[in-house]
Amino acid sequence: MLKTIKADLAIIRERDPAARGLLEILLCYPGFQAISIHRISNTLWKKGLPLIPRLLSQLNRALTGIEIHPGATIGKGVFIDHGMGVVIGETAEIGNRCLLYQGVTLGGTGKEHGKRHPTLLENVVVGAGAKVLGAITVGANTRIGAGSVVVRDVEADSTVVGIPGRVVHQSGVKINPLAHSALPDAEAGVIRNLMERIDQLESQVSSLENSLKGLAGGRLPSNVLTGEAQNLKDKEIIEFLGETPNP
């Protein structure tokens, strides 16, 4: 337990430039307080004690604004930054060194028993207000953009944005855990792609109209402006729609 608490303190000092000392973290960081109380309630939960772990989790919620079911599994070095409005469900699993911002929900879907909440592997960053729902797995070193809604499994080393969440980047590059807002704008990329195509088609139509007018006047048509045909299922649109391209 002591090693786990040390890891929780160390990750805060590493990732939060506002953390100025140990006493400040102990007294003023609700994310640390919520996880510390949860570790006690989780121990009692595993021992099969009735009611007491749930009461402790409710007290935790009242004190910190963070709701963690006592059955949730949280690894070492997990940091809940600010934390107000964070909800973590009963069968959720959070790997070591994950970072969750305020308003994050690790929620379940349906009323079935058993595993129904997400699993975050190591070093996952979940941006403010993001919702990760269902018994899905989010791979290690993945970033989930603020406000995203993730309902499908995500491979490791990915970046996920949008509603529903779409993988817009995947690589082995180590992520900056504090840059959860520095994410690509998938919708803007698709709109830009389509607007460029519309401009190209309008130019072609205008060129064809001029050629037809020339033919009507007995003039030979000039060279018609043509562009290379573009398959709408290009990389940006495939990523945005979450489709798998045909081989």
User: According to the model, what pLDDT value does residue 247 have?
Assistant: 47
User: According to the model, what pLDDT value does residue 37 have?
Assistant: 93
- pLDDT tens, 79-136? 998 889 999 999 999 999 999 999 999 998 877 788 999 999 999 999 999 999 999 9
108 shares a domain with 62: yes
Beta bridge partners of 137: 119
Write down the pTM of the prediction: 0.70
Give dist(CA 114, CA 82) in Å, integer: 30
Using an 8 Å Cβ cutoff, are 72 and 38 in contact? yes
Asked whether the predicted pLDDT for residue 72 surpasses 50, the reply is yes
Give dist(CA 212, CA 229) in Å, integer: 22
Give the structural domain span for 128: 2-170
| Nearest by Cα to 39 from 68, 19, 81, 80 | 68
Q: Using 50, 70 and 90 to split pLDDT, how confident is the model at 233?
A: low
Residue 247 in domain: no
Lowest model confidence (mean pLDDT) among 26-30, 123-127, 178-182:
178-182
First vs last C-alpha separation in the chain: 50
Residues in the chain: 247
Q: Domain holding 17: CATH number?
A: 2.160.10.10
Residue 176 in domain: no
Provide mean pLDDT across the span 150-174. 78
46 shares a domain with 78: yes
Using an 8 Å Cβ cutoff, are 90 and 66 in contact? no
Residue with tokens 């939960």: 45
Question: Tokens in use for 179?
Answer: 């840059």
